Structure formats: structure tokens, C-alpha cells
Structure 1
């Protein structure tokens, strides 16, 4: 049986202590349940719905925390990039997997710059995008000489404030020949409602949808979490 891979971590870096606690917990779980772990945490959430929401630490502080995580736990690190200037920082040296955000997955210059570093790229499929159309993003990345690609299904818009998950999407995405992950957290979120609100998500669907997507052929699960 193929070993499951899980991309997990805090939504965004909050502090050194929370990051280390989360990493220690996830490493322990990966050893207990025998799965491959990729540690994910954004250094900045540039797509917050409200300007009043916490969006991250400074780049300098984020780099310091990422380095600490790698030194203490030897983690494979994943973070997302939203702006071209971020590629001019030392983030590109410490981060192992670059993530193309769902809302920005059609941005050509961002995609090409990301691909130019020849590091693995996790494409977050936009909620507005048909799975077959991810092929255009893949072509942009491969045109830069980068074949290190992962794809994450994060649901499809279903009217206002709702998403649905179609298992057929896993099949279609697998046809490209790259690993496919299922975002188990964002797919049950309700856009526009804060995460701390009980109406902000339907977490009781996470186990069922995760098992369904693995059964449909997903190679792993993407989930943001706290210990």
C-alpha cells in the first residue's frame, strides 16, 4: 500500500512557540501513523477578507522561524508566495516547496518566476477553475523547465458562500501525471464568515470527504491545523 502524504501546519506563522509546538505534534503523528509529512505555514496571508484580520509576521521573523523548524525537526517546508518581490528574499533558500495560491493560480508572471527556481510547486486549484484547465498552469511551469509539480484540489464554487467537492476532479487532475492532494479544511469553509465563528465551517465533513478523496485516488491530504 502506498504511503500517504500529508501537508499540514498552521494557516500562517503566528509565533515561534506555536510553530514549534505544531511541528512537534505533527512529527509525532507522522511517526505514529507512518505518513510522509510536509510542513505548511504561510508567512503572510495576503488574501484576508478583512484588513483587520491577522495576516502574518515580518519576512525576517518568518525566515528565522522557518530556519528553526528545519534545524530542530528536519522538516520539508512549504509556503505560498503572493508577490514577485518575495522571491528576492532568503525565503527562496529555506523553503523546499513553493505554493501557488488558489486566487492567484492564473497569474502568469508569478507562476513563471516561481517555476524559475526549479523547486517543487504545489498548485492550489482555484475554486473558479475546472480541473481540466489546470493543464494551462502546468504548461506555464513546464515551459520554464520545471517538472516538479503537485496539485491540490480545494473545492469548487457552489453559489455564494459555499463550495462543493467533486470526486471526479481527483480523477481528472490525476491524468496530468503529478501527485494530487485534497484540501480537507478549506473545502468545508464558508467564505466571508470568520474561522472562529461556529458558522464559518462544517468540520464534521472533514473525515468523510478526506476518505472519499483518498478512495478516488488522491495521493495525500492538505490540512491546516493546531495541536
Structure 2
């Protein structure tokens, strides 16, 4: 499997420790983002886990038109740029429109494509042309082998710095399941694979105008993914998820992150040494 290098310290691949991609679901305000980034960096530095900070500047796919969406492209990128400069961290966020790609690429180290939009050709082409690492979340409606067409679109657009994310599959109404076979299957496309633990426990639209979730299952799925073999772990964390403005029911509590990560670090080391 091809290794994708992000910088001199971080690489996604079989011969590297898993990378943590983490942060609050949405940029609620600058203080929340800065405080959360600082705390996660302290934890990951202690555990020697490579870390990429994530927060969305625009939640364009909220269940309700009345839900908060975040500060928008310009203000959101300004805050993420501050995270980069103050904490020396790579950052990522998702884009929802091809017109956002160029400006986002000036700040972000990884361009994230939301699962609902993973087949949107113009969006993929625009992301590829930033020449940044592109992380595409597998649609809840796709089989893992269907992602070969997504990979081809990016490569044909001149970008081979591709990672794919498993985030659960639609199982009936308002439910997702995770088929761990998806991780090695997508790795066969010669790309590193991320496991998105917190979105995999969502209950889409389960609360009527908002999405529900069962964060208590996040540790179990994360350990399973580490045992199967993953190149990165995506987890959304928040100091007070029960009062978060987006994705609260499935986000981890920030003060639980260190204990959550410790067994995953050990499993990851064991699996990669065994290989």
C-alpha cells in the first residue's frame, strides 16, 4: 500500500503509527477551537501519537435549516490558520463546493470531502488541483470497492495524495453499521485508510431535526479498527459534547481522550509489529 506523506513528521501508511485526526465537529468560536487544539496536542504529544486538528468551518449538510452551520469559509480558515501557527499543527476541514477549494487549499493541509459528496466530480477535481492531501469519506450508500472510481477521478486530476475514510454504512432507517472488511478492502486500492469512529455511531436524523448518536460505542469500534489495521483514526471531541452545537451525541468528551487513546496505541503497535 502506498504511503502518503503529510510532512516530515507525519505519514499515513503501514509502516507508520496511526495518525489521530481530531477536534470539535464545528468551529463554534475561536476560544473553543484554540483550547481544544492545545489540549489534544498535549495528550497526543504525551502518547507520541501524530495529530492533525480538524474542525468544520461550514456544516452545509445539517438536518434542519435552523441548525447552526459555523462561521463560514473566510472566518473559519482564519481560525484554523491560527491553530496552525500557534500550535504548529497541520489542520483539515471539509469543503462542500468546488469554489471553496482554492481558498481552503491555502490554509488546510488535508482537504476533506464529505461522505454525501464523495461522488461529486467537480468537487473532487477542484480538491485534487489544490495539490494537498485529499481525504474522501466513503458514502454511507457505497460499497468499499465502489471507491475505486473516486480514487481514479482524483488521480486523473493529477493528485495521488489520497486517503479514504470509512464512516459506516446505511442500515435501514436512521442507522449505520460498520463492516470492518471495508478497511482492508479500500486499502487494496493502494491508498491509506482512516476509520471515522464518531460518525460511525451516528443515528442520522434520529432526533428529528438533528442527528443522534451513541458515543458509548466509539471505544469498541476504534479498538476493532486498530486490530484490523488502520492508518488514521478520526474522532470528534468536545469539552462539553452534550451542549455542542453539532454532532454532540456522538462526540467524545475531551477529558476522556487520553484514556480512550491508550489501548488503541497499544493495539496499533502490536498489529504493525506483527506485520
- TM-score > 0.5, shorter chain as reference: yes
- Distance in 2 between the 1:116 and 1:88 partners? 8
Three-state SS of the structure 2 residue aligned to 1:225 is strand
Provide Cα deviations, 1:22-50, integer angstroms capped at 9, x if missing partner: 10011011111111101111110100010
Structure 1 window deviating more from structure 2 (185-194 vs 150-159): it is 185-194
Correspondence for 2:212 among 200, 203, 211: 200
- Distance in 2 between the 1:74 and 1:147 partners? 25
Shift of 1:193: 2.9
1:60 aligned onto 2:74? yes
Unaligned runs of 5+ in 1: none
Runs of 4+ in 1 over 6 A off after TM superposition: none
Partner in structure 2 of residue 79 of structure 1:
93
Three-state SS of the structure 1 residue aligned to 2:80 is helix
Over 3 Å counting, the alpha-carbon distance change for 1:88 and 1:4 in structure 2 is closer
User: What is the correspondence of 1:182-201 to structure 2 with a 5 Å cutoff?
Assistant: 182-194=195-207, 200-201=212-213
Shift of 1:196: 11
Correspondence for 1:210 among 210, 222, 231: 222
- Distance in 1 between the 2:73 and 2:232 partners? 29
Correspondence for 1:42 among 56, 65, 82: 56
Number of aligned pairs? Answer: 225
Correspondence for 1:161 among 156, 171, 174: 174
User: What is the correspondence of 1:16-165 to structure 2 with a 5 Å cutoff?
Assistant: 16-89=30-103, 91-165=104-178
Three-state SS of the structure 1 residue aligned to 2:139 is coil
Shift of 1:2: 4.0
1:5 aligned onto 2:19? yes
Paired residues of 2:163 and 2:193 also in contact (CA < 8 A): yes
- Distance in 1 between the 2:137 and 2:208 partners? 20
Paired residues of 1:48 and 1:55 also in contact (CA < 8 A): yes
Three-state SS of the structure 2 residue aligned to 1:62 is helix
Shift of 1:87: 2.6
1:220 aligned onto 2:237? no
RMSD: 1.8
Shift of 1:194: 4.5
Structure 1 window deviating more from structure 2 (12-21 vs 79-88): it is 79-88
Q: TM-score, normalised by structure 2?
A: 0.78
Q: TM-score, normalised by structure 1?
A: 0.94
